[in-house]
Amino acid sequence: MRGKGLITFFSIALILICIYQLSFNFVTSKVEKRAAQFAEASVLAGKPLENIQSKDATIATEKKDSILMEIRKKRQAYLDSISNQTVFNLGIAKFTYQDCKDQQLNLGLDLQGGMNVVLQVSIEDLIKALAENSSDPTFIKALNLAKEKQQANPQADLVTMFQQAWNEVAPNGKLASIFATRNNQDKIKFNSTNEEVINFIHSEANGAFDRTFNILRSRIDKFGVTQPNITAQQSTGRIVVELPGVDNPARVRKLLQASAVLEFWETYDNGVFYSYLDAANTALKNHLNLSDTTSISGDTINPLATATKTENTNPLLNGDEALSAGDSLSTALSSSDTGLLNTDSLDASAKSEEELQKENPLFSVLNPNFYRDSEDGDKYKLAPGPVIGYALGKDTAKVNNYFAMNFVRANFPKDVKFAWSAKPTDVKANVYQLYAIKMQVGTNKAPLEGDKVISARQDVDQNGGQEVSMAMNNEGGKIWKVMTSKNINKHIAIVLDNYVYSAPRVNSEIPNGRSSITGGFSTDEAKDLANILQAGKLPAPASIIAEDIVGPSLGKESITAGIRSIVIAFIAILAFMVLYYNTSGWISDIALFFNLFFIIGVLASLGATLTLAGIAGIVLTMGMAVDANVLIHERIKEELAKGKNLAKAVAEGHVKSYSAVFDTHLTTLITGLILAYFGLGPVLG
């Protein structure tokens, strides 16, 4: 056979690739089993959950639910603590738990429980806002007609339907008379054509949809759900969110439908704020020593006890040189030659990690922002700017809880609040920055909010670098002038949903509300910041139009039933082929086995999510493969009956059955493409 060696080579290569991809599932399963055992041992202390009894059945159920919740938290805390540790070593490559998790074949909501939500972005509200809620009867009539048209054709976008409706209602009407508002004056003039206005609305609608999608994705990332899935259907204005393992649907609904809050805040400088952190660390240390326990009475802080000891990966990332992952905070504070800090010398090499945590309980989870000054004898100095410290993602909640304690909070100024960076500064180490935000006296409201921003776009400065150009309305421009004049050479934090996305330094007073933000951005970073700045500009709320909740018990039943269906179908097919076609049946069975193996391996390599519908699809695929084999074998039998030898009969059988097999698979492909385009949720999957 021609190319037999090449076919063999690619077959072996494909087998090895599939084994490689599926190996990640076995590794993560092993780690997660160990995490579950650790969590149960920590919470139950060897006592079976079934032993929990109470005269009141409701109380007993609540106790069990509370314990199960604590077990889940402990399990997740364990997994977070080892997320950056190597758990899979192939010799030529090493993989952390997070790496394995990213590359494994995932399970859908119907197999592990969770929540599926479909949200609709309100383009109607956006169009009204662009027209500044015009009461023009022609505009209102056209918009209502557009909504009717979209209901009749759900796949059409509302802006296109509005254009058609306007042409029907007012063929000679000028859209510019509706949309040439004060806020749109840079884009729409009174002499703008209807086509220009529609293009502008399209652009704003696409931008609003993208902003809503990015904001939802950011919120979901902060929700603490393992491997959430969020997909967009821009043509219909719908966003599909899948949250595995969610057990608080009310919180999810509130999180997803909340309006975006964009704020501009003044900040404290790190050089000023370190003394407050040092005092807070001392207060916390004294309290811990007084209570002489690792837990704090009356509070919810319990230092995480992990089964595996992790190395110190808290880097100090700002300044001329970042500390390596192996350096610790105590090393920075013990530099006796710096003379910068009024801190007792700590000998990191002579003290255990537990002793260091007792002496610096706050600084063991929050690294103050120092840098090593290479021009001054490698001394450690406080880095300038609003970033007061760094913490691992898993430690941010602990820092928040420490700061909420009254005796710790008493060491900080009354006008300070804290906000974490929206994204980690070191993605691999999962390190976040902590900012000190300065509030206005007597109010918790930001001095400037995002509704004053009328435009923001990614641009190129005179040196060819990326910048973000921002413009505000008259009211915002006046506030911005005051803020920038008070904060020259200081930083103003741009905060969305209580997370800091940027904190640019003010170089000079900005009198007209038009600003340029620079900072060594990449093109994507500049676009992202421009989108963030427009988040509060126009209302395009996302409302839930459909949701589906699957309990974990149903997920287990689905897994069991799904696996059983695959096994039974597989065995039945194998048996049929062997009993009916003998030797050729065995050959078909081997091919069928590799077909199933390749399907699962390819799904894993693509980062696909396996659902119950997907399992049904795999079973159907096996059935189609058998159907193709039956067609081929029957054709071969016909050729043998005509007196042809075996080799010629096999060749003729394959040729004459090709058209039927091809038609079957082509029909399936077309059906799949249609479902992929029009389907949502499980149907799309």
Burial tier of 571 (Cβ tally within 10 Å: 0-12, 13-18, 19+): exposed
pTM of the model: 0.62
Instruction: Decide the pairing of beta strands 114-121 and 542-550.
Output: antiparallel
Quote the tokens at residue 411. Answer: 């060491």
Q: Bigger pLDDT: 373 or 49?
A: 373
DSSP 8-state code for residue 322: P
| Buried b / exposed e along 441-470 (16+ C-beta atoms within 10 A) | eeeeebbbbbbbbbbbbbbeeeeeebbbbb
d(CA 483, CA 510): 9
Average pLDDT over residues 388-392: 92
Rg (CA), the chain: 31
Pick the CATH number of 551-684 from 1.10.760.10, 3.40.30.10, 3.40.1280.10, 1.20.1640.10: 1.20.1640.10
- H-state helical runs in 534-551: none
Quickly list DSSP for 338-381. Answer: T---------TTTS-HHHHHHH-TTTTTSEE-EEEEGGGTTEEE
- For residue 292, name the pLDDT band (cuts at 50, 70, 90): low
In the predicted model, is pLDDT for residue 116 greater than 80?
A: yes
- For residue 480, name the pLDDT band (cuts at 50, 70, 90): very high
Query: What is the average pLDDT value for the chain, to the nearest integer?
Result: 79
Q: Smallest Cα–Cα separation from 503: which of 427, 437, 417?
A: 437
d(CA 549, CA 10): 43
Query: What would the pLDDT profile of 486-534 be if each residue is shown by its tens digit?
Result: 999 999 999 988 899 889 999 999 988 888 888 777 887 888 888 788 7
DSSP 8-state code for residue 336: T
- For residue 333, name the pLDDT band (cuts at 50, 70, 90): very low
Pick from 47-61, 300-314, 621-635: least confident: 300-314
Average pLDDT over residues 549-559: 64
d(CA 420, CA 260): 17
pLDDT of residue 366: 92
Q: Which residue has the tokens 């056979």?
A: 1
% of the chain with per-residue pLDDT over 70: 82
In the predicted model, is pLDDT for residue 334 greater than 60?
A: no
Pick from 53-67, 111-125, 537-551, 556-570: least confident: 53-67
Query: What would the pLDDT profile of 246-266 be if each residue is shown by its tens digit?
Result: 766 777 787 787 777 889 999
Quote the tokens at residue 665. Answer: 């698979």
Output phi, psi for 36, to 5 deg.
-65, -40
Residues 6+ apart with CB under 8 A from 380: 332, 333, 335, 338, 340, 370, 371, 372, 373
pLDDT of residue 682: 58
In the predicted model, is pLDDT for residue 239 greater than 60?
A: yes
- For residue 478, name the pLDDT band (cuts at 50, 70, 90): very high
**Strand, coil or helix: what is 155?**
coil
In the predicted model, is pLDDT for residue 166 greater than 90?
A: yes
Contact 680, 238 (CB under 8 A): yes
d(CA 611, CA 11): 27
**Comma-separated ranges of CATH 1.20.1640.10 domains in the chain:** 551-684
In the predicted model, is pLDDT for residue 371 greater than 80?
A: yes
Quickly list DSSP for 591-609. Answer: HHHHHHHHHHHHHHHTT-E
